[in-house]
Amino acid sequence: MAKSIKKEALAFMVSLGCPKNFVDTEVIAGSILTGGVGITPDPEEADIYIINTCAFIPTAREEAESVIREAIAWKKNFPRERKIIVCGCLVQWDKDFSIRNKFKKVDLWLGIDDIPAAGSLILGALEENPKASPLPSSSPEYLYDDLTPRLQLTLPHFAYIKISEGCSNRCSYCAIPNIRGRLRSRNQDSIVKEASNLLSGGAKELILIGQDTTAYAADYGKKDSLARLLGKLDKLEGDFWLRLLYTHPAHFTNKLIETIADSKHVLPYIDMPLQHISDTLLKSMNRKTSSKEIKKLLDKIRSAIPEIAIRTTLITGYPGETDRDFEELLAFVKEQKFQRMGAFVYYPEPSTPAASMPGQVPPEVAAERLDTIMKAQSKISLSFNKSLAGKVFDVIVDTADTKHAVGRTFMDAPEIDNRVLFSGKVNPGDLVKVKITGASEYDLKGIAAKGK
């Protein structure tokens, strides 16, 4: 039997990318803990440096490579005792092994399907004669459930629940299906059990995520499954919030709108990346919807749920985007006045149809358009936030000291949207009423109001 380098090992973990990736990091953490490896927040105490990577766009891959270099520097003085493990999307994206060949000092590379067995694979890397890294599967099938060991690494009062993995939409600009595989949805009962367990453990906000949450159970040929899932989750006991992220306009149904409107726990908050509003570009993007349908859907949602906060994400500089297309998008933003909005320049992602399309927009033009649209949104956001002065909102507290606190309203997802900065003696995880007294473009100020 191979001799272990250390009887008790500690791991330092870095999670890059979106909340969906963060859940994988939590599963990796659960897997190594059950295998006897501890976790430390201090890399200098660690024997293992674990990096769970994102590879969605070039900047994400650049960030991952930067962190790998940091890990190599960390390992430099202890080459035999310290191990570097790189996991996730970058490993899956690296079809030609160019990243592996670039970073020879990485000890183990784990793809998407290796996540559930991360603990045993990482323990194997600690042995004197470690096995070679497994080859990543060409089409991942991994899908965790409520029985999968998982260490919650968010603040204790909120948690993410990944209801599905992968995506089958095949938007022309997106490499996610090539990296994460086809859509595969979790069992509904498993999701409800996980939610119940998280609530029992002290969570007060459950955030449902997936590459496309509105496509939940479409791989089983079922319609309105997300609405039924929300209905079951809404029946769970307790005082808690349910937040829905990553919806798709082509898959939003009347039943889903009704469910959100009638629920007790589901927040009147919808995250719906629209990407563009030009019919020409929507068709080119393979978004399976139209400008008319999107506007009709937004009107329908706002009519059914007047207090709704809608967050969206847009792309500037997509191949073929003309000045006229962009002006249409800008006019749409000014017309809709989204409470929350982000935008990104288009990146030509290898292996996607859009990368080889004619009419590639010069990067400087895409960046200029991004700046223009975000300046417009900044004015909209400031005007909206100022209109909230004098109103009282329920706020979930994320951090607090003896005098000041930072929290979020129903309109704000963690680490994505606005914050509420307020005075008052409260504790993290408290749900308190806050009176808004001031505003900036992306933050609110207030004081704790009487009563909870």
- Tokens 């891959």 belong to which residue? 61
The predicted structure's pLDDT at residue 452: 47
Least confident among 115-129, 257-271, 335-349, 420-434: 115-129
Cα 176 to Cα 77, 135, 145: the distances in Å are: 37, 19, 21
The predicted structure's pLDDT at residue 451: 53
Residue pLDDT, tens place only, 81-107 = 899 999 999 999 999 999 999 999 999
Q: How confident is the model at residue 3 (pLDDT cuts 50, 70, 90)?
A: very low
Give the fold, CATH level 3, of 10-125: Rossmann fold (3.40.50)
Q: How confident is the model at residue 284 (pLDDT cuts 50, 70, 90)?
A: very high
The predicted structure's pLDDT at residue 31: 95
The predicted structure's pLDDT at residue 130: 85
Same CATH topology for 10-125 and 158-385: the answer is no
Q: Once rounded to an integer, what is the mean pLDDT over residues 138-149?
A: 94
The CATH homologous superfamily of the domain defined by 158-385? tm_1862 like domain (3.80.30.20)
Q: Once rounded to an integer, what is the mean pLDDT over residues 175-202?
A: 96
Q: Once rounded to an integer, what is the mean pLDDT over residues 313-323?
A: 98
**Residue 1 confidence (pLDDT) above 50:** no
The predicted structure's pLDDT at residue 80: 81
Cα 400 to Cα 199, 418, 428, 436: the distances in Å are: 22, 16, 6, 17
The predicted structure's pLDDT at residue 330: 98
The predicted structure's pLDDT at residue 78: 87
The predicted structure's pLDDT at residue 403: 85
Angle, to 10 degrees, between the axis of helix 225-234 and the axis of helix 188-200?
30
For the chain, domain boundaries: 10-125, 158-385, 392-448
Q: How confident is the model at residue 329 (pLDDT cuts 50, 70, 90)?
A: very high
Q: How confident is the model at residue 7 (pLDDT cuts 50, 70, 90)?
A: low
The predicted structure's pLDDT at residue 128: 77
DSSP output for 139-176: S------TTS-----S-TTEEEEE-EES-----TT--H
**Residue 214 confidence (pLDDT) above 50:** yes
Of all residues in the chain, the percent with pLDDT exceeding 70 is: 98
**Residue 49 confidence (pLDDT) above 50:** yes
The CATH number of 392-448 is 2.40.50.140
Task: Collect all residues with Cβ–Cβ distance below 8 Å to 244 and sequence separation of at least 6.
Answer: 207, 208, 213, 230, 260, 266, 267, 269, 270, 271
The predicted structure's pLDDT at residue 127: 85
Of all residues in the chain, the percent with pLDDT exceeding 90 is: 90
The predicted structure's pLDDT at residue 138: 85
Residue pLDDT, tens place only, 389-408 = 999 999 999 999 988 999 99
For the chain, give the mean pLDDT.
Answer: 95
Q: How confident is the model at residue 5 (pLDDT cuts 50, 70, 90)?
A: very low
Query: Going along 4-73, which residue ranges are E strands?
Result: 10-15, 38-39, 48-53
